[in-house]
């Protein structure tokens, strides 16, 4: 990685020791920043849930060093899991497998499965190699309070966990590895019911279902009612505090004009040319570029004092699936908001 401040080796070693002692550490991954704890220490895992304000029955992903033994963590591992690990690890793919009996249930919210991922960010890899001599697993959800937008910089993590970052707080340190390159969370594929249900895509990400199918010859299906629960799959998630509405380009132009005429402050996130707004960010018109900057943009727009964050709906299509999924959840529950802002008196 170039142009990025790498934390010193000594700092990474200190973070590994803190994890070994049961503390929490914020660390960068290529997708988003994680809030890490020793996956085999149930008290440390409980501290993650407490810090996030997350329900105890929501499983967290276990991060592994490159080359880690999958069969230490999981049982009945299908050949497809090894194929996918060989193809995409280190990288933004999480696999759900049957949890090995000796792995504490706390890490999977009591389910009999475990989510495993080997991240590619050099700082995450260095931390995983320093932690328990490379043989441990770091349980880490995204380092945000439950339901909030995921963090893509170290500063976002500090902003989310101000109290926990204070001396004596639950968060021992936050490693800074620059802005996360991918910008949205990993693709999650469930392989724990492969024989009966085939592979199931629990959360779209930058590794597409088609890319997975190219490796294992089976296209992951959309989740059914019996699929394992995932908080990132709740209808409302990844949401800023300001309401978010998403509209296609033409509708958005009209809405923007109407709302501004009604005295409303609009923060605009768009990728095509648009009239001026109270605040605006123009994102690249490519799925990777858009994903990279999406969460930082939502956070930035959340601090502008706008009445509404209006987002130009990205194109449909496989490459945009992850971005559209996150935006839909960010906008969930705001459907009547444009109407409401037009029809109520502006303050």
Cβ distance 140 to 36 under 8 Å?
yes
What is the nearest approach in angstroms of Mg ion to the Cβ of residue 104?
20
Q: Rounded to whole angstroms, how far apart are CA atoms 117 and 268? A: 34
Q: Does 180 participate in binding Mg ion (rule CB under 5 A)?
A: no
> Which span (88-96, 207-215, 271-279, 290-298) binds ligand TXA, by CB under 6 A?
88-96
Residue 148 interacts with Mg ion (CB under 5 A)? Answer: no
- Is residue 203 part of an annotated ligand binding site? yes
8 A C-beta contact, residue 321 and residue 239: no
- 209-216 and 79-88 helices, crossing angle to 10°: 120
Nearer to Mg ion, 129 or 231 (CB): 231
- Contacting ligand TXA (CB under 6 A), which of 39, 96, 293, 327? 96
24 DSSP β-pair partners: 171
Q: Does 223 bind ligand TXA (CB under 6 A)?
A: no
Residue 138: cis peptide before it, omega within 30 degrees of 0: no
Nearer to ligand TXA, 114 or 267 (CB): 114
* Identity of the residue, 142 or 153, whose beta carbon is nearer to Mg ion in the bound complex: 142
Interatomic CA distance for residues 89 and 139, integer angstroms: 17
3-state secondary structure of 239: coil
The verdict on 142 binding Mg ion (CB under 5 A) reads yes
Contact call for residue 186 and ligand TXA (CB under 6 A): yes
Contact between 137 and ligand TXA by CB under 6 A: the answer reads: no
Burial, 42: exposed, middle or buried (Cβ in 10 Å; 0-12, 13-18, 19+)?
middle
Assess 177 for contact with ligand TXA (CB under 6 A).
no
29 sits near Mg ion (criterion: CB under 5 A): no
- Applying CB under 6 A, which of residues 39, 188, 252, 291 lies at the interface with ligand TXA? 188
Chosen residue from 16, 23, 29, 39 binding ligand TXA by CB under 6 A: 29
Does residue 297 interact with ligand TXA by CB under 6 A? Answer: no
Measured CA to CA, the distance from residue 172 to residue 312 in angstroms comes to 39
Q: Which residues contact 322 (CB under 8 A, 6 or more apart)?
A: 184, 187, 204, 205, 206, 287, 291
**Stretch (H or E) spanning 62:** strand 61-64
Residues that bind ligand TXA (CB under 6 A): 29, 31-32, 34, 58-61, 92, 94, 96, 108, 111, 113-115, 117, 119, 140-142, 185-186, 188, 202, 228, 230-233
Binding residues, by number, are 31, 54, 63, 113, 117, 140, 142, 150, 186, 203, 238
């Amino acid at each position: 990685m170039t142009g990025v401040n790498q934390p010193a080796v000594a700092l990474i070693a200190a973070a590994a020791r803190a994890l070994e002692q049961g503390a929490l550490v914020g660390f960068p991954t290529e997708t988003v920043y994680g809030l890490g704890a020793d996956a085999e220490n149930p008290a440390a895992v409980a501290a993650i849930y407490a810090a996030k304000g997350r329900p105890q029955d929501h499983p967290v992903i276990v991060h592994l060093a490159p080359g880690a033994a999958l069969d230490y963590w999981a049982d009945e591992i299908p050949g497809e899991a090894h194929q996918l690990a060989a193809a995409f690890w280190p990288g933004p793919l999480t696999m759900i497998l049957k949890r090995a009996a000796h792995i504490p249930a706390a890490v999977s919210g009591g389910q009999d499965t475990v989510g495993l991922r080997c991240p590619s960010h050099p700082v995450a890899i260095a931390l995983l190699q320093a932690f328990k001599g490379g043989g441990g697993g770091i349980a880490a959800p995204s380092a945000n309070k439950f339901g909030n937008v995921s963090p893509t910089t170290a500063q976002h993590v500090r902003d989310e966990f101000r109290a926990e970052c204070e001396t004596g707080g639950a968060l021992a340190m936050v490693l800074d590895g620059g802005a996360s390159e991918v910008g949205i969370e990993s693709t999650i594929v469930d392989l724990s019911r492969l024989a009966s249900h085939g592979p199931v895509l629990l959360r779209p990400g930058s590794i597409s279902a088609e890319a997975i199918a190219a490796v294992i010859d089976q296209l992951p299906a959309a989740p059914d009612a019996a699929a394992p629960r995932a908080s990132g799959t709740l209808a409302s998630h990844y949401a800023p505090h300001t309401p978010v509405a998403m509209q296609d380009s033409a509708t958005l132009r009209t809405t923007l004009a109407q709302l501004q005429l009604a005295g409303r402050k609009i923060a605009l996130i768009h990728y095509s040319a648009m009239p001026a707004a109270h605040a605006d960010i123009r994102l690249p018109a490519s799925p990777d570029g858009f994903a990279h900057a999406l969460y930082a943009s939502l956070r930035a727009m959340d601090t502008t004092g706008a009445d509404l964050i209006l987002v130009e709906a990205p194109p449909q299509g496989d490459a945009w699936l992850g971005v559209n999924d996150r935006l839909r959840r960010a906008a969930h529950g705001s459907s009547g908001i444009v109407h409401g802002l037009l029809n109520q008196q502006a303050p």
